[in-house]
Amino acid sequence: MSYTLACSSIIYHSMKVSLIMRPRLLLYLLLMMVSSSAIGESEPLTACYADWPPYSYQVDGKPAGISIEIYNAILQRADIKVNYSKMPWARCKAEFLSGKVDLLVDGDISIPNSLHIEQGPVLWILIFWVHQDSPFGDFKGYSQFENQSIGYVRDYGYPRDFIEYQGFREKYDVLDDLQGLKMLAKGRLQAFFGDVISSTFLVNRHQLKLNALGPAMKIRFLTLSFGKQHLAQHTDFNRAFMTMLNDGSIDDIYKKHLGMSYHELLEKYGD
């Protein structure tokens, strides 16, 4: 029997003889029950994240990356403790939806039955990438890739008009960004629908001869998605984020990693 259940049992039996109990003893038992509940509420929440550098990855067995650093800063400000587990994105999402984990790193409004911030702290700026030899210098619409092979990462959330567009010769749903970018570099694709932050990181790391086509197709806001049973903690998280966004703390993290602030990225790639 847990400590909380034991205390509840004591209270139950004590109420049966409450007429002959001294008030101080009853008050003591009630305080024990409240104290045990508070202990349970302070237990760390569980969160899962996928290997998605530079947003989230693992270093020496510990979570790292831009997203992790941003969320940890907000969680610390909100006084919320979290334990992380790394797993493939599909499994991470499934475990969150089933309630096995409390939080999903880099979720968004597409995650059902979740609490989220609509304009969240992590930017996912969707953009087309092409080979350096491509005749295209900027993005003018899907029709410029008519009858060509386009790559995108399976299980990511993309604009409906992209998924439903029928003019491409074929769409390859690759396992991750690096696979798609390497296929593009080798000429197996004519374009890859990636993003600014993670794809730039991978293009530079692997010295791939690729260019990004502006403007951005879409900016999606990612966040730490909370299960609906954690409304109070999500409210605290949201409040802490807004405070840090206004005082420049979020901008400082972006500048450290990317050389541009959260607001500067929105201004450069936003509508």
pLDDT at 13: 46
Distance CA 259, CA 251 (A): 10
Cα dihedral: 119, 124, 128, 131 (round 10): 160
Buried b (16+ CB within 10 A) or exposed e, 96-110: beeeebbbbbbbbbe
Is residue 88 within 8 Å of residue 175, measured between CB atoms?
no
pLDDT at 167: 96
pTM for the model: 0.77
Is residue 168 within 8 Å of residue 150, measured between CB atoms?
yes
How would you write the pLDDT of the chain (271 residues) with one tens digit per residue?
Answer: 444 444 444 444 444 444 344 555 444 444 444 444 444 456 999 999 999 999 999 999 999 999 999 999 999 999 999 999 999 999 999 999 999 999 999 999 989 999 999 899 999 999 999 999 999 999 999 999 999 999 999 878 888 899 999 999 999 999 999 999 999 999 999 999 999 999 999 999 999 999 999 889 889 999 999 999 999 999 999 999 999 999 999 999 999 999 999 999 999 887 6
pLDDT at 269: 84
DSSP run (H or E) holding 191: strand 191-195
Buried b (16+ CB within 10 A) or exposed e, 8-29: beeeeeeeeeeeeeeeeeeeeb
DSSP-derived letter for residue 202 is H
Residue 116 tokens, joined: 């989220």
pLDDT at 23: 52
pLDDT at 3: 42
pLDDT at 26: 45
Closest CA to 220 of 109, 140, 130: 109
236 conformational bin, left if phi > 0, alpha if psi -120 to 50, beta if neither: alpha
Return the sign of the alpha-carbon dihedral for residues 253, 258, 260, 262: negative
